[in-house]
Amino acid sequence: MNKNVLRGVVCALAVGALWAPGSALAAGANHGLDLRVTHGTSENWSGYVLTGPGPYESVSASWTQPAVNCVKTRNGYAAFWTGIDGDTSETVEQTGTEGDCVAGKATYGAWYEMYPRDSVPIGEPVVPGDELSASVTYLGKALFGLISQFSLVLSDSTQGWTHTVDAWIRTPKLASAEAIAEAPSSVILGELPLSDFGTSSFSGFSANGATVTALTPGLEPLTMVTSKGVVKAEPSALHLGGFSDTWLHS
């Protein structure tokens, strides 16, 4: 995708505005499509993506919520999630967590999203060190084939909660599956700074019920870079569904 085409960017009302307690993402800011720069690099995604052969009807992954360093990035945003679509397609069905810095204060939260619709906050506690697991599952067509239904499940075993929601979208392609660390963006402000999350550890990445390995067809690592090519975050090698993602630049 052309790096100048902001099809996946959605609006944040203001960098300093927050959702209600229980969510940390800036009000109105969503998680968009993969903004490709070149093969293997993206302006907003870092992690691993599967782009074939599909269709991808289920995906799951686990991760440890990292602490964000708000000394280095007083205002920054970072999301951690798993989902279907968003790479080579125009929708994303996803759920995950957030670690943000607003005026030097760290805030954390959880959410789900059926892009291009807005993110929906999940009013449950999230703190650094929490063990999260998530899954997104395609349930099939409904309303005479006019919509497609999904089940999105996010669990925090440390805090002891699980959030399950059935949601719908009109035209998913089921074209990709991913486990991602992301920098949200804003139509007004452009790319928001990536909060310094140190290292986030993912495990259990699977698609269509099979563990994703380095030999899985269609697997591609994504390194997050600025428009000038400065590396912002990059994944380690993937081994049996597990990898780490490391912050390098805001």
CA distance 218 to 238: 14
Query: Which DSSP string corresponds to 161-214?
Result: EEEEEEEEES------EEEEEE--EETTTEEPPBPB--EEEEEEEEETTEE--T
More confident residue, 167 or 189: 167
With 70 as the cut, is the pLDDT of residue 248 above it? Answer: yes
Average pLDDT, the chain: 87
Tens-place pLDDT, residues 186-203: 767 767 899 999 999 999
- The beta strands (E) that lie in the chain are given as 41-42, 45-50, 58-64, 76-84, 92-102, 105-115, 119-122, 131-142, 147-156, 161-169, 177-182, 185-186, 190-191, 199-207, 210-211, 219-225, 231-235, 243-247
Please determine, for residue 21, whether its predicted confidence score (pLDDT) is greater than 70.
no
pLDDT at 71: 93
pLDDT per position as a tens digit, 67-104: 999 998 899 999 999 999 999 899 999 999 999 999 99
Q: Give me the pLDDT at residue 17, please.
A: 29
d(CA 111, CA 160): 16
